[in-house]
Structure 1
Amino acid sequence: MRILITGANRGLGLALSKVGAERGHQILAGVRDLKKSTEGLTQSEIYKSISLLPLDVTDEESVFAAANTVKENFGTIDVIINNAGVLLERDKQIEDLDLDQVKVTFDVNFFGPIRVVKHFLPLLLMGDRSSIINISSDAGSISQAYGGDYAYASSKTALNMFSQQLSQYVQSNNVHVFSIHPGWIKTDMGGESAPGNPFDTAKGIFDIIERKRVIDSRNVFITYEGHSMPL
């Protein structure tokens, strides 16, 4: 399969790119700045199926240009993984929130996936067993709200609704849409104390993409192991 991954040069995105390449998929690794930190995507012969793609999810012109590049060079894609994300204002209470940082959070975590799907969906609909994976979080569960992470949690709740609405729109095309909680994993975002390994999460996500797990497609919000999450 040909798979687009945003935020592919570090953390979970890097793990997804490597696991996908190891499983024989062609990876289009979306990276905001090709001059920074891309060596992990090209350091081994096994990753020769990874193609670097300039892609800034906060810039619609960049997303449009990336979609045109993919169309001209590859024609179609099979999977979109909206992985790019930020966690800002982590320890701020509502009285101290910097609303500009809240806007940045939504621009990346919510509007970013919308921009990507808007411009890449026509390329994905040409397939017959396609998937759209939006990397979410348990923080986006309304029923399990814990009082904090206002910007991040709210952006993930919005992403879950977008995933639900999108799933209804593309279901007749046999496109699966999932909003996936990746677990608390050891990345720049998750921190060194996180118990999870991003490569374990990446393997679980690829099992879902490859349809190795039987998942009711009506369950849009799930864990990386395929278990239903409460909205």
Structure 2
Amino acid sequence: MAEHWFISGANRGIGHGLATLLAARGDDVGASVRSEEARERLQHDVARHRARFSIFVFDQRDEAGIRAAARELTGPLDVLVCNAGAYGPQTQSTLDLDFPGALDLFDINTLGPLRLVQAFLPLMLRADNPRIALMSSGLGSMATEGSTNIAYRAAKAALNKIAQGLAHDLKREKVTVVALNPGWVRTDMGGENADLSVEESAVGLIETIDALTLADSGRFLDYRGRDVPW
């Protein structure tokens, strides 16, 4: 049975992989990009599935733009994937940090997904099995040692805490919330030496999200559905 998904950051990388695979299998897909140019590229990429696609232009920092997009959607929303994100400033170590850049990164990677959840939640409450997936990273796990790209790590760790809080607050509404680690993927962010192709990660993520139930709410999972240490 076809479902209605919304994927943020669908113009490239994992978001693009998720959106195109979902449309190809017959789901309805809402997708966000950050520019009109990106919208045109995505429309071209999904031309044969365009009837199943709705593409919106907004930035994760733009609450008004996010809420305007949510108002344009109709019907229940089964799955919200908060995928859009950034890697942050070049200078981000514990001993030398671009503080304005780090704050902007938190605005995108940590608060941006929460803006999406709050805007799209009324649509999700109308679905039979609503699921929210916050795209995290293994670098956000407190069990992962190291300090390179510390702002990115900290922003993802904070996102994990938001996932836990949302799972607690939305359980009574029967909304499943998880944090997901997509793995090290060959994207612009992951680099060409990463372990996984976009398709490998996206296929696993879709299978994992498809299988979620309310009993899974509050978990941190990888793209294969296995638990990741918080």
The answer to whether the Cα contact below 8 Å between 2:168 and 2:218 also exists between their aligned partners in 1 is no
Q: Which residue of 2 aligns with 1:6?
A: 8
Residue 32 of structure 1 corresponds to 34
Q: Compute the TM-score of the two structures, normalised by the length of structure 2.
A: 0.92
Q: Which of 39, 52, 55 in structure 2 is aligned with 1:52?
A: 55
CA–CA separation in structure 1 for the residues paired with 2:64 and 2:196: 35
Give the 3 Å change call, closer, same or farther, for CA 218–60 of structure 1 in structure 2.
closer
Q: Give the number of aligned pairs.
A: 227
8 A contact 1:140–1:157 mirrored in 2: yes
CA deviation after TM superposition for structure 1 residue 216, in Å? 5.1
Q: Output the CA distance in 1 between the equivalents of 2:228 and 2:137.
A: 10
Whether contact under 8 Å (2:91, 2:98) holds in the other structure is no
Residues 81-90 or 168-177, more deviating: 168-177
User: After superposition, what is the alpha-carbon deviation per residue over 1:84-108, rounded to whole angstroms, capped at 9, x for unaligned?
Assistant: 0100235642232111110111011
How far 1:11 sits from its partner (Å)?
0.7
Change (3 A) 1:90 1:139: farther
Aligned-residue offset at 1:162: 0.5
- The aligned residue for residue 89 of structure 1 is 89
Residue identity opposite 1:31 in structure 2: V
**1:186 and 1:223 mapped to 2: Cα distance?**
16
Alpha-carbon distance between aligned partners in 2 of 1:68 and 1:108, rounded to the nearest angstrom: 21
Match in the other structure for 1:146: 146
The one-letter amino acid of 1:225's match is R
Q: Tell me by how many angstroms 1:148 deviates.
A: 2.2
Structure 1 residues 195, 143: CA separation in 2 closer, same or farther (over 3 Å shift)?
closer
Alignment of 1:1-231 (within 5 A): 1-36=3-38, 38-43=40-45, 44-70=47-73, 74-89=74-89, 92-211=92-211, 217-218=216-217, 220-231=219-230
Tell me which amino acid in the other structure corresponds to 1:6: S
Distance in 2, Cα, partners of 1:193 & 1:215: 36
CA distance in 2 between partners of 1:190 and 1:41 (Å): 24
Q: TM-score, normalised by structure 1?
A: 0.91
List gaps (5 residues or longer) in structure 1: none
Amino acid at match of 1:228: D
* Structure 2: distance between partners of 1:219 and 1:168: 7
One-letter amino acid of the counterpart of residue 216, structure 2: S
- Alignment RMSD, CA only? 1.9
Q: CA deviation at 1:200?
A: 1.3
Name the SS of the counterpart of 1:162 in structure 2. helix
User: Following the alignment from structure 1 to structure 2, what is the Cα–Cα distance between the partners of residues 12 and 102?
Assistant: 23
SS at match of 2:216: coil
- Structure 2 residue runs of 5 or longer lacking an equivalent are none
Structure 1 distance, partners of 2:203, 2:104, is: 30
Structure 2: which amino acid aligns with 1:112? G
Tell me, what secondary structure is at the counterpart of 1:4?
strand
CA drift at 1:41: 4.1
- Pairwise CA distance, 1:204: 1.2
